[in-house]
Structure formats: structure tokens, C-alpha cells
Amino acid sequence: MMLQMSVNNGHRNGQSPVPNHAVARTLAQLAEGEAGILERLDLPEDIARRLMELGFLPGHVIVPARSAPGGEPRVYRVDGSEVALRRETASKLILRAPKAPGKASAL
């Protein structure tokens, strides 16, 4: 059984929750030091539950840190802790799509 945890994004009537101009990314795609907000965990229930116990909860900010010499595992900072994840696992943690850039006000 798969557990898909997500926050309420307010979409209705079958409309896509992500506009065309804003594409969601995975945790594995973030650069070192680049913050992302977790949207959902697309993992088996037991793994998702363990990660949530470690602080990987929808709505929380996650920041990739250092990685091992071969690139795996990679350390992620979340909820005041540092947790190492393999790329395969990090690719199943979906981040909130970035908001569309607002219009700059003309002076």
C-alpha cells in the first residue's frame, strides 16, 4: 500500500492543482542550500511514516546539505535535524510548486 500525504491545495472540479507555469520538483532535484517546502511523500506507508517521524511533514522546509563523495547519500536539514537519504528516496518527496512571480509595481 502506498501512502500519499499532502496538504490541501484548494483545487476543485478536476482542475490541475499546479498551473502550467509552475512545475513541482522533487527533493532530489534541489541544489545544495536551496530550500524547498514539502508537498507530499509518494512512498510506501511504512517508509513515509518513518520519514514523517523524522520531520519530513507536508508544509515543512527542507534544505539539502552535503553529500557523500559519490553523491549518495545526501544530508537534508529538516525540523532542526540532519537526515541522510538516498537519491531514490529523495526523488519520491514532492515539493510545492514555486509561486508564479508577481508583477513588479511601477513607480
Alpha-carbon gap, residue 41 to 94, rounded angstroms: 6
Instruction: State if pTM tops 0.75.
Output: no
pLDDT band at 79, cuts 50/70/90?
A: confident
Q: Is residue 3 part of a domain?
A: no
Q: Is residue 6 part of a domain?
A: no
Alpha-carbon gap, residue 44 to 84, rounded angstroms: 18
> Which has the higher per-residue pLDDT, 31 or 8?
31
Q: Which region among 9-13, 38-42, 59-63, 83-87 has the lowest average model confidence (pLDDT)?
A: 9-13
Q: Is residue 107 part of a domain?
A: no
Q: What is the CATH number of the domain that holds 29?
A: 2.30.30.90
Q: Is residue 13 part of a domain?
A: no
Write down the pLDDT at residue 41.
Answer: 97
> Which has the higher per-residue pLDDT, 63 or 104?
63
Domain count, the chain: 1
Instruction: Give the residue numbers spanning the domain of 60.
Output: 24-95
Q: In the numeric block, which cell numbers belong to residue 67?
A: 553529500
